[in-house]
Each structure stands twice: as C-alpha cells, then as structure tokens.
Amino acid sequence: MTVERYVSTLELDAKAEATPWARRHVRDVLSAWQVADERIDTTELAVCELVSNAVQHVAPDTPEAHLTLTLRHDESQVIAEVADPSDHPPVPNTTMSEDAESGRGLFIVGEISKEWDYYLLPTGGKVVWCIIALV
C-alpha cells in the first residue's frame, strides 16, 4: 500500500500566465519536499505541458475558467493532476510533423512520465494526470 506523504494544491486562472505560476509552484513545492533536482525538472516539464494544454483548449470556450494543479508525493513517485472545466478528453497529436511548433505536449508527457491518463469528474470537467517515478 502506498501512503501519500505530501499534497499541495494551486488554483490558477486558465490564462497564459498559469504556466509560469505552475512551473514555480512545482519547483518550490518539490524542493521543499526534498525531491531530487532532475525529478523536479521532469515534473516541471510535465506540469507545464498539462497546464498549457488545458489553457489552450479550455480558455477559448470558458473565458473565466479556472484550473487546479494538485501535486501528490509518496515514497516512490510524484503524481501531478490538472483539473479543468472541459469534458473533452485530451487527444494526443499522432500526425505532427517534425517542424510543428505545437501539438507535442501530451507526447512529451507520455515520454517522460511513468504513465498518464485522465478521468471525468462527476460534477463536470476532467482531471489529466501523470506519474513521475522518483526511484
């Protein structure tokens, strides 16, 4: 059985400024939790991709939308969750060209995390999550 050691939550507006705030939050919180620097970097990248994806796909439909970033830490992993008000599932871009300037976010998350997925919330919206292994 895995027991959570720490949990942190940050509410963000679904705007472009959410990504740097999320990045800073990840760095500050995981540093306080004494997570290794390379795992902080990996988690920071994954969270930035999840938050950017949420902002890009939620903000045009819901200008006053909010996101919730939750970080969970146990002895072997960090789970990063980004909740948003959209019921639309995240769709990885499987047809991007090498010179594409966007569309790589979920591909990157899939490559650097142990696993990722999403679930719909009973009250509406969804949570997209990923697991960063610490060992």
pLDDT at 42: 97
For the stretch 101-121, what's the b/e string if a residue is b when 16 or more beta carbons lie within 10 angstroms of its beta carbon?
A: eebebbeebeebbeebebeee
How many other C-beta atoms are found inside a 10 Å radius of the C-beta of residue 41? 14
The three-class DSSP label of residue 133 is: strand
How many other C-beta atoms are found inside a 10 Å radius of the C-beta of residue 4? 10
The CATH number of the domain where 68 resides is what? 3.30.565.10
Q: How many domains does the chain have?
A: 1
pLDDT at 22: 98
- Residue 32 in domain: yes
Q: What string of pLDDT tens digits covers the 135 residues of the chain?
A: 566 789 999 999 999 999 999 999 999 999 999 999 999 999 999 999 999 999 988 866 677 799 999 999 998 999 999 999 999 999 876 665 555 455 578 989 999 999 999 999 999 999 999 999 998
pLDDT at 60: 65
Domain of residue 64: give its range: 6-133
- Residue 1 in domain: no
- Residue 98 in domain: yes
pLDDT at 125: 93
- Residue 71 in domain: yes
- Residue 57 in domain: yes
pLDDT at 98: 56
Q: Is the pTM of this model over 0.85?
A: yes
- Residue 52 in domain: yes
